Amino acid sequence: MMLEVRMDMVRAAAQGRLSLPSVPRVVRRLIGQLRDPGASVLDVVDELEQEPQLAARTLRIANSPYYCGRRSVASLRDAVMVVGTNTLRTLVISGGLEAVFVAVPGVNLRQFWLDATITAKAARSLARLAGADAEAAFLAGLLHNVGHLILCQGFADRLPPALAGARSARGRELARIEQDICGMDHAQVSAAWLDELGFPESVVDAVAHHLDPGGAGGPLAPLLGLATQLAASIEAGDSARIAVHKLDAGWVAAASLLADRLDEELAVQYEQIAAGGEA
């Protein structure tokens, strides 16, 4: 399926309708490190310091109350010591990819990335409960919908107008509209782009299959599917208990999670997610 989707994208790009965004070299290097658990972000700190916007964002987060407390972080090397190499790598990658999209037809980017961040935090919380890779889940959650931005740019004359009356569309409903207009959907395009950037197969497969996590996408796919449901509940204003009870029971089982454990543990974390804090 992935090869077929990528060929579709190549044909669309050849017709001048679709192109995959380029990202800073330092971000590509950090993405490459995701495949090597022993790699240290210190190897690229000097290069990262040549990217002022990324460096400033990373230091701002490292100095936030959640990470820093009373200690002030003045350099990226200090930031590594405060937040850890894995978290710092995730922060830089996510910041670098967010910066790629400056303006997208028909999309409120501030709201888009807010929803993506909520999904990412929910995915990370679920992964921790399931004993899965929490940082990989966070990245999958944050980037699962970037294909929608790419499609809105590539089909600016058709897709945004079609969504004007369906601004609340997400998940499978959004994918159906994208398929009708573009011949591909955000899950496929997101996965193809992340694959092209060199993300680990676990992240790519989770994004590709999160709309229908029947086992083909590995353990992260159903977790990501559940995270998108939680994000939708947050947007609708649901309370923690109601949101957890709305989760699809089949997907909970597919994620190898216990419903009663979700009810007891995730609800507490969910309150933090809904408030915009860390989870």
Question: How many Å apart are CA 24 and CA 220, to the nearest integer?
Answer: 27
Question: How many Å apart are CA 48 and CA 95, to the nearest integer?
Answer: 12
What's the pLDDT tens digit per position in 111-153?
A: 999 899 889 988 998 898 888 999 899 999 999 999 999 999 9
User: Count of alpha carbons within 13 Å of 229, Cβ hemisphere only?
Assistant: 23
Provide the whole-model pTM.
0.85
What's the pLDDT tens digit per position in 237-257?
A: 887 778 888 888 888 888 878
What's the pLDDT tens digit per position in 61-108?
A: 778 776 666 667 888 888 877 777 788 888 888 888 888 898 999 999
Question: How many Å apart are CA 13 and CA 275, to the nearest integer?
Answer: 40
User: Which span out of 6-20, 40-54, 199-213 was modeled with the highest average pLDDT?
Assistant: 199-213
Query: Which region, left, alpha or beta, applies to residue 218 given φ > 0 means left and ψ of -120 to 50 means alpha?
Result: left
Chain-centroid distance, C-alpha 205: 13
Q: Which residue has the higher pLDDT, 206 or 77?
A: 206
Sorted by where each starts, the structural domains of the chain and their CATH numbers stand as 22-100 (no CATH), 103-279 (1.10.3210.10)
Query: Which region, left, alpha or beta, applies to residue 277 given φ > 0 means left and ψ of -120 to 50 means alpha?
Result: beta
**CA torsion through residues 250, 2, 102, 43, sign:** positive
3-state class of 169 per DSSP? coil
